[in-house]
Amino acid sequence: MARMAQIRNIVILTGAGISAESGIDTFRSAGGLWEQHNVEDVATPEGFARDPDLVLGFYDMRRAALTKVRPNRAHDALARLEAEFAGEVLIVTQNVDDLHERAGASRILHMHGQLGSALCLACEMRSPIETALAERPPCPVCQARSLRPDVVWFGEMPYQMERIYAALREADLFVSIGTSGAVYPAAGFVRDARNLGVQTLELNLERSEGSHWFHESRHGKAGELVPAWVEEVLGSST
Ligand code: BV8
């Protein structure tokens, strides 16, 4: 690991693995979300066009599950890092849950959208979701009954990509936490970081599809690895 004292700007990518210990299913582990549902049916625009009720129900179910879970020690540790680190910390999350926010972090980019937000197909405005979308509530802005989940499906452009690449250009450390490195463009960030001369660290339960790109990979549960790593960073940055 690079000498911590030189680290002033950290970009952290998180995936479903950081929320696993909170009880939220990941996508690819046994019994995960994509095993219970066909990704083409519930996470593509084509699937939504084919069967909107199935897709709206899938996201309503995941949103309802959020009220029953809490941030875990890994989310808390990242919020502590943002609060106490002398330099810059940016969390780029692939997750559509709100556990980083509920742990107290604030500099968060949801590159794949958020379960709590609806996008209106008529006026393209976003609004917080108050009722299940399967009930076809009216858009609070234009009243049209044409709300979809404000999440990025396969084949759709992830959000805030320019801001993410700008952050990678400024970073001196890129840390990937709890992601399989299976989905692009997020899976390519480690390569972009290395090409920019950024130090790269992976904290994941097991080897991922991108492990070979990282200067250092640590394997274990996020609830243990992340607090220990944050302690290391804060301990050495004083
Ligand atoms: C786009 C939101 C272009 C919705 C999601 C061939 C090559 C390159 C790319 C492609 C290709 N063919 C198709 C593509 C494009 C495609 C893609 O990458 N496909 C893959 C399958 C090859 N990508 C896209 O379509 C993206 N868009 O490319 O747009 C474009 C260009 C111009 C104009 C328009 C468009 C959009 C992809 C976003 C899809 N949306 N989610 C929702 O949540 O329902 S994807 C979803 O899966 C996640 O958001 C995440 O991004 C992705 C991977 O999930 P992970 O978070 O990594 O979770 P996973 O279960 O996979 O892994 C969990 C990890 O945690 C594991 O490693 C496990 O070991 C670990 N773990 C488990 N427990 C713990 C743990 N770690 C620590 N502690 C624990 N306790």
159 neighbors 186 (Cβ within 8 angstroms): no
pLDDT tens column, 129-180: 999 999 999 999 999 999 999 999 999 999 999 999 999 999 999 999 999 9
Distance 84 CA to ligand 1 centre (A): 30
> Taking the complete model, does pTM exceed 0.85, yes or no?
yes
Domains in the chain and their CATH numbers? 4-22+71-112+158-236 (3.40.50.1220), 34-68+117-151 (3.30.1600.10)
Whether residue 180 has its Cβ less than 6 Å from ligand 1: yes
Mutate to test the pocket of ligand 1, among 56, 184, 201, 226 (most ligand atoms within 8 A of CB): 184
Distance in angstroms between the alpha carbons of the first and the last residue of the chain: 17
Element (H, E) at 238: none
Distance 131 CA to ligand 1 centre (A): 27
Where residue 28 falls among pLDDT bands split at 50, 70, 90? Answer: confident
Catalytic residue positions, numbered: 112
If we measure between CA atoms, which residue out of 60, 93, 61, 53 comes closest to residue 74?
93
